[in-house]
Structure 1
Amino acid sequence: MAKPKVAFYWCASCGGCEETVVDLNEDLLKVADAVDIVFWPVALDFKRKDVEALGDGEIAVSFINGAIRTEEQEEMVKLLRQKSGLVVAFGSCAHLGGIPGLGNFWTRDTIFQRVYQEVPTVENPEGTTPQEKTVFDFGELTLPEFYDTVKTLDQTIPVDYYLPGCPPPPDLILNAVNAILAGELPEKE
């Protein structure tokens, strides 16, 4: 019998949700034996094209942490939604916006002004800020659009389940994975 395919993706967050997966310790090995991890770019060498090559709904579950702040994050979570049977909002940032959500108190331009020009430890006499496109003699550099507002995962795509916490505790993650593997998920409201 084929193992269920699982994906992990990291959007705007601190990285604690990725770390708590590692905090499963030896249980992580049991999870890795029970599933086929098909996308986890922070831990393994996967690319967007790997997800694009999968059939719609082929991923059993995608665990997505972090809020949505950039064009790239929005595109990836929409692609993962299309390719996944279930999507889990993994952690407080995906669920409620978390610390990145505090950015909604300021505009993108105000944030860039503060971070790249006004912070006392920054030396930036040219006033350089991230640009979506920069042309050099050797080629072109592009960056995803940095949105003016932060969105939660369920403001961007339909979400099936939520794993709360900052980060979610390892026992909650393990219980969720076991429930998915056993087909014992709670009813969706």
Structure 2
Amino acid sequence: MEQLYTFIERLYGPETREVLRILYESGQELTEEQMAEKTGLKFNVIRRALNKLMESGFVIYRKQRDPDTGRLIFYWRVNFENLRPALVARKKAVIEKLRLRLEYERDNIFYTCPTDGLRFTFDEAMEYGMICPRCGSPLEPDERQEQIVSILEEVIQKLEEEIAKEERRG
């Protein structure tokens, strides 16, 4: 489960991770109020997290009207039936974005400002006369480019391996 929590945190942030963790570990439906009590998070933060998780298929809800107040109460739970397929689908979407970034990194030559760290493609650097538009320092070839490409390739490979493992489990 820790792998799922880490993945969710990277996608949506620590609050969303905490909301999913509380729902998963409770093993039952929880209201937003119950989640707020257990996490200490504000209602709007919990609702935002739940909406992100619902859009990705990780959680579902049912609603019921409170007979005393007439107010709708939402009962949330982990969508166990869709958890694995939703995770695989999300990982595939991330891989697509990473592949686009990898292609961009491979297809361009980059320059950076040694003073403030701004990064420019070769064409952008030429437009600025190889001078940083923010601070006026001379731009230098980005020595991290190969490292960035390597990291992107590693992350893509790791995600592809995780997907293959998940799909074998079926």
TM-score (norm 2): 0.31
- Bigger RCO of structures 1 and 2 (CA < 8 A, at least 6 apart): 1
More helix by share: 2
More strand by share: 1
TM-score (norm 1): 0.29
